[in-house]
Amino acid sequence: MKINNPDIRDRTYTTLLLDADGTLLDFDEAERQSSASVMRTYGINPTDELIERYHQLNLECWKAFERGDIPKKAIFQTRYPQFFSELGITVDADQTERLYREKLDACAFLLPGALEICAYLKEKYQLYIITNGVSSTQYSRLALSGLDQYFLDVFVSEDAGSQKPQKEYFDYCLARIPEKNTGNMLVIGDSLTSDIRGGKNAGIATCWTNFINSPEPSEPELLPDYEIHDLSELKNIL
């Protein structure tokens, strides 16, 4: 565990806002299996290289959405048609999206220690999920994983009408949380541009779940208050 902000060393928290994908759920594995299923439907062998190419296209779309450059609908209308066009195949965006969503809704892979840390935290804190994504998919995956039992509410960007890191998204969340003192809250997530930037902009302390040992950000607005490399390290903070 690393503390970047000594001013919060002795802070007492009551309310935790946890990201889902990349923090508690293994979205990479869910995406890998779901995208591979779509490729097979169109007669494509889902090699590691093709799965990685889809992953990068999808990531680029979501990053553009987080920045506010494109509406969420554009993600679903763009990612598979663009991917298959590179293979010389024309596909229907709605059909590929439906195939992908059916598979993804049934994929719920937990990251190591996720259930254990949530059970531990629930005894002492008010827990909420903050996540960008499609509401039906996120609710389904949280239920399948068993995570939903630990959280008082789930805030999905689709329901909020805005997304992390936008201020409007956090305003939506804060309006629905009984705790009104943001000094008693902590955002926990893996994305510097989504979770950390969003939490800091909302005046909430942040904890970066840096599971893959990424380099620290050079931008001050992305520097988290805490940094951990394993979920169990949250016990050193909370």
Tell me how crowded residue 212 is: count the other CB atoms within 10 A of its CB.
Answer: 8
Q: Are strands 226-228 and 2-3 parallel, antiparallel or unpaired?
A: antiparallel
Alpha-carbon distances of 87 from 52, 81, 138, 167, 225, rounded to whole Å = 14, 10, 30, 39, 44
**Strand, coil or helix: 42:** coil
**Strand, coil or helix: 156:** strand
What pairs with residue 190 in β-bridges?
none
Asked if residue 64 lies in contact with residue 72, where contact means CB atoms within 8 angstroms, the answer is no
Q: Tell me whether residue 19 is one of the annotated catalytic residues.
A: yes
CA distance 6 to 73: 41
CB-based contacts of 156, cutoff 8 Å, min separation 6: 131, 132, 133, 134, 135, 138, 139
**Catalytic-labelled residue, pool 19, 21, 190, 225:** 19
CB-based contacts of 131, cutoff 8 Å, min separation 6: 19, 20, 21, 138, 154, 155, 156, 157, 164
Catalytic residues: 19
